[in-house]
């Protein structure tokens, strides 16, 4: 366990599925950086700083995990962090097609950085950040899909999510 891995995403917001993958990765790598991507072409619900803080709070019990924001090319960030592995989560076959394209391009750009795919616990395969945001925005209870700190943040943002 000497290798460092990064787990990139927008994490808008971080979900229980993300936490599951990071917790499992933290047992297999010396260090895992939850790499929160800047907005790019997306308009996130939470600012970059808020998303980093929510990720850190959700994963505070994993001592070898840290949250950091980044802008630009993922492989450049991987090199900056001296990470040899990019971790990506796969929930469905459609995820695989998209992630396979990204992994091949990243390999072309940085042959020294490997991409590894992880699948979440089956209870988390239907959870996505976009679904969580939509449910929360419409006043639904998302407490079963996100860590408590994220549930509270969504409640504060939209005013009517869970009962916590």
Cross-sheet strand order for the sheet of 85-89: 65-70, 31-37, 4-9, 85-89, 114-118
Rounded Cα distance between 79 and 86, Å, is: 11
Under DSSP, the state recorded for 125 is T
Query: Is 91 one of the catalytic residues?
Result: yes
Candidates 105, 102, 96, 82; CA nearest to 29 is 82
Query: Is 4 one of the catalytic residues?
Result: no
Rounded Cα distance between 154 and 33, Å, is: 23
Rounded Cα distance between 77 and 63, Å, is: 21
Considering the candidates 91, 107, 137, 152, report the single residue annotated as catalytic.
91
Considering the candidates 27, 42, 76, 130, report the single residue annotated as catalytic.
42
Considering the candidates 18, 51, 133, 155, report the single residue annotated as catalytic.
18
Q: Which residues pair with 148 in a beta bridge?
A: none
Considering the candidates 129, 133, 143, 155, report the single residue annotated as catalytic.
129
Query: Is 129 one of the catalytic residues?
Result: yes
Q: Which are the catalytic amino acids?
A: 18, 42, 91, 129
């Amino acid at each position: 366990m000497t290798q460092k891995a990064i787990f990139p995403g927008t994490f808008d917001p971080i979900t229980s599925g993300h936490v599951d993958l990071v917790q499992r990765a933290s047992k297999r790598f010396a260090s895992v950086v939850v790499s929160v991507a800047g907005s790019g072409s997306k308009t996130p619900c939470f600012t970059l700083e808020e998303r980093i803080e929510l990720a850190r709070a959700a994963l505070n019990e994993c001592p070898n995990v840290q949250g950091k924001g980044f802008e630009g090319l993922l492989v450049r960030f991987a090199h900056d962090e001296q990470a040899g592995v990019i971790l990506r989560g796969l929930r469905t076959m459609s995820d695989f097609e998209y992630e396979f394209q990204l992994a091949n391009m990243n390999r072309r750009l940085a042959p020294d950085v490997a991409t590894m795919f992880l699948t979440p616990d089956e209870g988390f395969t239907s959870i996505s950040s976009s679904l969580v945001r939509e449910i929360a925005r419409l006043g639904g209870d998302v407490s079963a899909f996100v860590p408590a700190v994220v549930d509270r943040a969504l409640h504060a943002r939209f005013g009517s999510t869970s009962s916590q």
